[in-house]
Amino acid sequence: MGNFGLRDALDGRWAHVRQAAREQLAGSRFVAVPGESLDRSRERISRLLRELPIDPGIAAGFPIAYGGSADPGGSAVAAEMLAQLDLSLMVKAGVQWGLFGGAVVALGTAKHHDAYLRDIISADLLGCFAMTETGHGSDVQQLRTTCTYDPETGTFDLHTPHEAARKDYIGNAARDGRMAVVFAQLITGGRGYGVHAWLVPIRDDEGRPLPGVTLGDDGPKAGLLGVDNGRISFDHVSVPREMLLDRYGQVAPDGTYSSPIEDDSRRFFTMLGTLVRGRVVVGGAASAATKNALTIAVRYGEVRRQFAAPGERREIALNDYLAHQRTLLTALATTYALSFAQEELVSTLHEIQTADRPVDEHRQRELESRAAGLKAAQTWHATRTIQACREALGGAGYLAENRLAGLKADTDVFTTFEGDNTVLLQLVAKGLLTGYRDTFGSLDGWGRATFVAEQVREMVLERTAARSLIQRLIDAVPGRGEQVALTDRGWHLAMFEDRERHLLDGVIRRLRAGASRKPARSFDIFNDVQDHVLSVASAHVDRVVLEAFVAGIARTTDPDARDLLSKMCDLYALTTIEAHKGWYLEHQRLTPPRSKAVTGMVNDLLKQLRPRLVDLVDAFAIPDEWLACAVLREEPERQEAMAAHDLLPMPEPASSAR
């Protein structure tokens, strides 16, 4: 087809990483195996993990001194590529190099790096990221595991006080992990200093649990069978003082605590902030898997035919049905949009994590907020879209051999892992309410959030990408309302921005009114407007995504690609406006006739884009073998056989009624 322009636009800044993956991981060797048992899957994934290339690869994020290439952006993009092969493999690699290794790099100091990083990168030392507990997932600041320093022995006592405090859902815990980065409440001198992390051995060389360590298996899951998630409890396990990952907090031999960040909560969220890549990677992986699903569904819909049109001998291709386009093409437009937003997010991550000096806190908070919002948007979009793709294949979509069942099952956990999506959207909203100032509540929830109501200030919406271009487009919108073309980009941008701003203003007003009324429980002030707050976050994410799409088009030089992207951007913008037309009409941002015209224009765009539908998925450039979908290989032949057969003089079914 030769849509290299489109493909280049999507491949973006780390095109070389994507291309290297397509070559180094070519064939079906690293591709998910349908219908595999738990044991075989774990065995295969553990084996393949050690065969993955380091560079480019997820391990590319490590410092050059230890064998990495200090390329956090490349590492995130490499994870996306693995997600197109096998999500178990991607998550296993993410646990090992992203979460476990990443925590050692970010929270540890030179002694830890020198001692462990090489073995971590080579996968000779497999490890866990033991943060979540059975009782605390979203509110990790309240973890119940304790790690208490005793100056007499010079060691910490790591302890799980009750079952709710056991570590749970921990990758590498059930089978492979030899060490774990364990998060627990640091206690010294009879005082708690909040959550810190220790590097703790959990298994001996033969894989037996070490004394005091109890290891459990989370057993079969909805998907990701190749990842050995499990549980870890500690019964007064002695941990040497040096094993505290002490970049942000040190304990002297005598038990004196010191830290460059005085405030416990601020310190904790600073530590968490260094681990933001995990969330970036999960969002990107969700979108990558969505691309596999859409490629399968679109290619199938192109060859699969059902129901003959009157007067026509051949049946209609599924892709020719408006309802099918309404499902697949609109999801594809959103996938494109999210792709550009993810690219921008990865770039920001890369800039911040490779900066020569520490970036200002505002930028760091903004990155965390964006990572949270895009993770939620991309994972929910994946869940919805993969489901739609599976339905678009009918019964074939339900068979494991056609891949969608696995994509669906594997990505399902993403909506709640690395942060529950609803909690993440609250985090985004809180960032907006406080302008990213003083919000050390990255994983913070509703309960204690009323303080925000007193802190809210007038918001200045901050542009994310291509600031001046976007302002120019908005300024160029000729007047308001009916006259403006429905495909005017400035109008789209203004509509998105208006929705975000107005929703935000409304929440601020309602929070202030609530605070002044003083209800029985201060919790109610926030809870009463929770739905409104979540819609602010979602409107914000929509705007961030549209702006990234606009910036991405501006970077594209190939005229055909630019034109196609521009139409896809129209489709994304208008389906988003259509989805929220209730709000726009309520607030008189759309008149009823114009609202109806939006729907008409969406259908019109579907017609315009229909002939390029296959090109649009081809541009994802996913190797055929990575799709691993049996029906894609078989269906064209079947359709040919059927068409050939129909040409034989077979008795016609009696057809008076047709």
Window 431-460: residues binding a second copy (CB under 8 A): 440, 444-448, 450-451
Rounded Cα distance between 530 and 422, Å, is 10
In terms of Cα–Cα distance, which of 536, 543, 538, 527 is closest to 507? 536
Rounded Cα distance between 18 and 517, Å, is 55
265 burial level (CB within 10 Å; 0-12, 13-18, 19+): middle
- CA-based torsion, 167, 158, 274, 450: positive or negative: positive
Of 50-58, 116-124, 524-532, 555-563, the segment contacting a second copy by CB under 8 A is 524-532
Of 116-124, 348-356, 403-411, 553-561, the segment contacting a second copy by CB under 8 A is 403-411
* Of the residues 43, 315, 563, 625, which one makes contact with a second copy according to CB under 8 A: 315
Q: What is the DSSP string of 400-412?
A: GGGSHHHHHHHHG
* Of the residues 322, 355, 461, 513, which one makes contact with a second copy according to CB under 8 A: 322
Window 87-126: contact mask with a second copy (x via CB under 8 A) = ----------------------------------------
Alpha helices by DSSP H, 304-356? 322-353
Residue number, 533 or 619, with CB nearest to a second copy: 533
Residue 361 binding a second copy, by CB under 8 A = no
Residue 274 binding a second copy, by CB under 8 A = no
Helix (H, G, I), strand (E, B) or coil at 57: coil
Rounded Cα distance between 18 and 37, Å, is 30
Q: What residues numbered 51-90 form the site for a second copy, per CB under 8 A?
A: none
Residue number, 20 or 31, with CB nearest to a second copy: 31
* Of the residues 422, 455, 487, 566, which one makes contact with a second copy according to CB under 8 A: 422
Residue 171 binding a second copy, by CB under 8 A = no
* Of the residues 157, 242, 320, 351, which one makes contact with a second copy according to CB under 8 A: 320
Residue 280 binding a second copy, by CB under 8 A = no
Residue number, 50 or 162, with CB nearest to a second copy: 162
Q: What residues numbered 592-651 form the site for a second copy, per CB under 8 A?
A: 592, 595-596, 599, 603, 634, 637-639, 641-642, 645, 650-651
Rounded Cα distance between 336 and 322, Å, is 20
Residue number, 25 or 486, with CB nearest to a second copy: 486
Closest CB 388 distance from a second copy, rounded Å: 10
Rounded Cα distance between 407 and 83, Å, is 9
* Of the residues 71, 228, 412, 488, which one makes contact with a second copy according to CB under 8 A: 412
Q: Which of 36, 80, 133, 418 is catalytic?
A: 418
Contact partners, residue 341, CB within 8 Å, separation at least 6 = 374, 377, 544, 545, 548, 549
Residue number, 554 or 585, with CB nearest to a second copy: 585
Q: Residue 479: what residue type? A: G
Residue number, 37 or 354, with CB nearest to a second copy: 37
Q: What residues numbered 199-238 form the site for a second copy, per CB under 8 A?
A: 218-223
Question: 474-482: long-range contacts at Cβ-Cβ below 8 A with a sequence spacing of 24 or more?
Answer: 481/591, 481/594, 482/591, 482/593, 482/594
Closest CB 617 distance from a second copy, rounded Å: 21
Residue 368 binding a second copy, by CB under 8 A = no
Residue 198 binding a second copy, by CB under 8 A = no
The secondary structure element, H or E, covering residue 633 is: helix 630-646
418 in catalytic set: yes
Q: What residues numbered 140-169 form the site for a second copy, per CB under 8 A?
A: 141-142, 144, 146, 161-165, 168-169
Rounded Cα distance between 602 and 616, Å, is 17
Contact partners, residue 322, CB within 8 Å, separation at least 6 = 603, 606
* Of the residues 19, 24, 28, 138, which one makes contact with a second copy according to CB under 8 A: 138
Q: What residues numbered 539-558 form the site for a second copy, per CB under 8 A?
A: none
Q: What is the DSSP string of 484-549?
A: S-TT-HHHHHHHHHHHHHHHHHHHHHHHHHHHHH--SSHHHHHHTTHHHHHHHHHHHHHHHHHHHH
Q: Residues with catalytic annotation?
A: 418
